[in-house]
């Protein structure tokens, strides 16, 4: 049977992985944890680079890790920053590749949830696979 991940567990996983952030340029640590419909959790942190555009956001690291492990169907994403910052536009676009109504929890690093929303609210009228077929 697939284990159900509680949202508090997912937020905790995001808090923990945010500690791995490589963010010497912004000093803004981000952690993301996404659970697949099979109940597997994938985590990611932001990884910055001296050549700034070569860095990547925490959410995309988590999603790309999941996809590279064969998981593309997701049921919940948690994002943690010190101040409850929202996912950026590029990450929203990547999320939309795999889900149009992904539930998203945003939390600060104390585990206080600041937003519970869905991707369709964060990225309405999105560009997607149907547009390029």
The enclosing H or E element of 12 equals: helix 7-18
Sheet with 74-80: strands ordered across: 41-45, 31-36, 74-80, 103-107, 113-118
Interface positions, 63-122, toward ligand THU (CB under 6 A): 87-88, 91
By the 8 A CB rule, do 120 and 101 touch? yes
59 is catalytic: yes
Which one of residues 16, 28, 100, 108 is an interface residue with ligand THU (CB under 6 A)?
Answer: 28
Among 30, 34, 76, 80, indicate the residue that binds ligand THU (CB under 6 A).
30
Among 2, 3, 19, 26, binds ligand THU (CB under 6 A): 26
Query: In this chain, which stretch among 53-61, 69-77, 101-109, 110-118 interacts with ligand THU, using CB under 6 A?
Result: 53-61
Whichever of 41 and 60 has its CB closer to ligand THU, that residue is 60
DSSP secondary structure code for residue 54 in this structure: G
| Shortest distance in whole angstroms from residue 70 CB to ligand THU | 24
Pairing of strands 74-80, 41-45: unpaired
């Amino acid at each position: 049977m697939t284990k159900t991940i509680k949202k508090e567990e997912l937020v905790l996983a995001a808090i923990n992985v945010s500690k791995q952030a490589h963010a010497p340029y912004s000093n803004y640590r981000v952690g993301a944890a996404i659970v697949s419909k099979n109940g597997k959790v994938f985590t990611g942190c932001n990884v910055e680079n001296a050549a700034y555009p070569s860095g990547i956001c925490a959410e995309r690291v988590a999603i790309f890790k999941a996809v590279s492990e064969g998981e593309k169907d997701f049921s919940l994403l948690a994002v943690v920053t010190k101040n409850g910052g929202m996912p950026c536009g590029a990450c929203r676009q990547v999320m939309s590749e795999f889900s149009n109504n992904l539930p998203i929890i945003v939390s600060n690093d104390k585990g206080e949830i600041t937003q519970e929303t869905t991707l369709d609210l964060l990225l309405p009228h999105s560009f997607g696979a149907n547009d390029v077929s």
